[in-house]
Amino acid sequence: MKYKHLEGLIAAPFTPMDKDGNINLSVIPDYYKLLKHNGVTGAFICGSTGEGASLSMDEKKAVAGAWAECTNHDSDFTVMMFLGGTSIKDCIELALHAQRSGLFAVSFTAPFYFKPADIESLANCCKAIADEVPEIPFYYYHIPVLTGVGFPMINLLKSVYEKIPNFAGIKYTNEDFMDFLSCLHFKDGKYNMLWGRDENMLSALALGVKGSVGSTFNYAAPLYNDLINAFNSNNLQKAQTLQQLSIDMISLLGKYGGMPTGNAYMKLVGLDCGEFRLPFKNMQMEQFDLFKKDTEEINFNSFCSKKPIC
């Protein structure tokens, strides 16, 4: 089975929340319009950035339905659903819902409480889910910093080859460039390898990356599209300068508390996604004022995403 390889910027959206901490589906149509307007080609929903591990099954189904409703008419914008990783049964249920909803693909990460003992066990987990949704692409989500499962992905591709017909590729959120390049070249580039580290995209482009999934594409897509264009035009000096801007922007995430700082960036581009759930710690108002000053220091407004004019 052969699937189209996704290219360009695929955002990992935040799951919008209201002031009471409930999912706020009403924001999603405007969210899609923001991404589309800024040259983003798809969305990886309910992943790490989308707090998928903190959402209930019903909430994840509702989020999937909302994204499907506003994007299913758009063949140029693909939505991939993150299924989770602890309960295979729940992942199958959610995968079937994604398939019924008309989403493009589903993605699964390694079980991170009871961890697979070896690569074959991990491959069997993938197969158990993928076999239930044979009509849509299945992607593995490699993020060992969160799962603690760090098998080389080239070994997973060797294990699933010819065993999982709808295994389409890997969302690769790790810095092992040697392993990643081996995956890119496996079976003449059969699998769609999506890069997942925004702060070193330039290095991945040099290896041949065509598609990337990232949280900062939500609010700084023009920066990365310019970086890609500079690289493709052999203007490496400009590409390096833009990558440094990305690094400067991402460094503020760490300075102000990690992942929830992304929602502060979203407020600056005019889309309020609320706050993160526990156990995350959200930014206080006095911190937001300092954060905003720091974004002015890096001239964030010059490269951030812009809302479409209604």
Mean pLDDT over 16-43 rounds to 96
* Rg, the chain, Cα only: 19
Contact predicate 299/290, CB 8 Å: no
**Which tokens sit at 38?**
């800024």
Q: Which ranges of the chain would DSSP assign to H, the alpha helix? A: 28-37, 57-71, 88-101, 119-130, 144-147, 153-160, 177-185, 201-207, 217-232, 236-255, 261-268, 285-297
For all residues of the chain together, what is the average pLDDT? 96
277 domain-assigned:
yes
pLDDT (tens digit per residue) in 235-249:
999 999 999 999 999
Domain count along the chain: 1
In a domain? residue 2: no
pLDDT in tens, 35-93: 999 999 999 999 999 999 999 999 999 999 999 999 999 999 999 999 988 899 999 99
For residue 2, pLDDT beyond 80: no
Q: Is there a domain that residue 307 lies in?
A: no
Residue 233 lies in a domain: yes
Q: Is 172 domain-assigned?
A: yes
Q: In whole angstroms, give the CA distance from residue 167 to residue 108.
A: 11
Q: β-strand 8-11 against 40-45: which pairing, if any?
A: parallel
Distance from chain centroid for Cα 60: 15
For residue 209, the model assigns a pLDDT of 97
CA distance linking residue 224 with residue 222, whole number of Å: 5
Q: Is 171 a catalytic residue?
A: yes
Query: 226 Cβ partners below 8 Å, 6+ apart?
Result: 238, 242, 303
On the 0-12 / 13-18 / 19+ scale of CB atoms within 10 A, 2 is: exposed
3-class state of residue 113 by DSSP: coil
Name beta bridge partners: 214.
11
141 is catalytic: yes
On the question of pLDDT at 203 being above 90, the answer is yes
310 pLDDT tier (thresholds 50, 70, 90): low
Q: In this structure, is residue 308 part of a structural domain? A: no
Q: What's 82's domain CATH number?
A: 3.20.20.70
Which pLDDT does position 4 carry in this prediction?
86
Q: Is the peptide bond before 279 cis (omega within 30 degrees of 0)?
A: yes
Predicted confidence (pLDDT) per residue in 269-296, tens digit:
999 999 999 999 998 888 999 999 999 9
| Alpha-carbon span 177 to 175, nearest angstrom | 6
Share of the chain above pLDDT 90, in %: 94
* pLDDT tens readout for residues 81-136: 999 888 999 999 999 999 999 999 999 999 999 999 999 999 999 999 999 999 99
Is 1 inside a domain boundary?
no
Given 141, 219, 224, 256, the catalytic residue: 141
Query: Residue 3 — pLDDT band, cuts 50, 70, 90?
Result: confident
Q: Is residue 237 part of a domain?
A: yes
Residue 295 domain boundaries: 8-302
pLDDT of residue 309: 78
CB atoms within 10 A of CB 99: 17
Q: Per-residue DSSP letters for 212-252?
A: EEESTHHHHHHHHHHHHHHHHTT-HHHHHHHHHHHHHHHHH
C-alpha separations of 38 from 246, 263, 275 in Å: 16, 18, 23
Q: Please give the single-letter amino acid code of residue 195.
A: W
Is the per-residue pLDDT at 1 higher than 70? no
pLDDT reading at 161 higher than 80: yes
Residues 171, 191, 224, 256: which is the catalytic one?
A: 171
pTM for the model: 0.95
Q: Which pLDDT score, from 0 to 100, does residue 166 have?
A: 97
